[in-house]
């Protein structure tokens, strides 16, 4: 059905987005000569992938979860 096709398409788009985001964050991590991807690597990856408008809301949410402290 069209609804099932749309759901599958959205799921695939989400999977691809997470794949590219993770790969880009991994590159940022390697550039910093580290082995573990950090939240800052993910935020850098979002900027690199032209999703910079998501960085500040995500940073605020992350700081809220951490009790206002940064990594």
- pLDDT reported for residue 27: 96
Give the CATH number of the domain where residue 43 resides: 1.10.20.10
Count of domains forming the chain: 1
Q: Which two tokens stand for residue 44?
A: 């850098």
- pLDDT reported for residue 68: 62
Give dist(CA 38, CA 44) in Å, integer. 10
- pLDDT reported for residue 41: 96
- pLDDT reported for residue 69: 55
- Across the chain, mean pLDDT equals 93
> Which residues form the domain of 56?
2-69
- pLDDT reported for residue 67: 83
Contact present, 45 and 21 (Cβ < 8 Å): yes
Q: Which residues of the chain have pLDDT under 50?
A: 71
- pLDDT reported for residue 48: 96
């Amino acid at each position: 059905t069209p609804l099932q096709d749309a759901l599958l398409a959205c799921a695939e788009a989400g999977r691809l987005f997470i794949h590219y985001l993770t790969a880009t964050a991994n590159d940022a991590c390697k550039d910093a000569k580290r082995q573990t991807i950090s939240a800052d690597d993910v935020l850098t990856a979002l900027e690199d992938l032209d999703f910079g408008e998501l960085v500040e809301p995500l940073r605020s949410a992350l700081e809220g979860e951490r009790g206002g402290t940064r990594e």
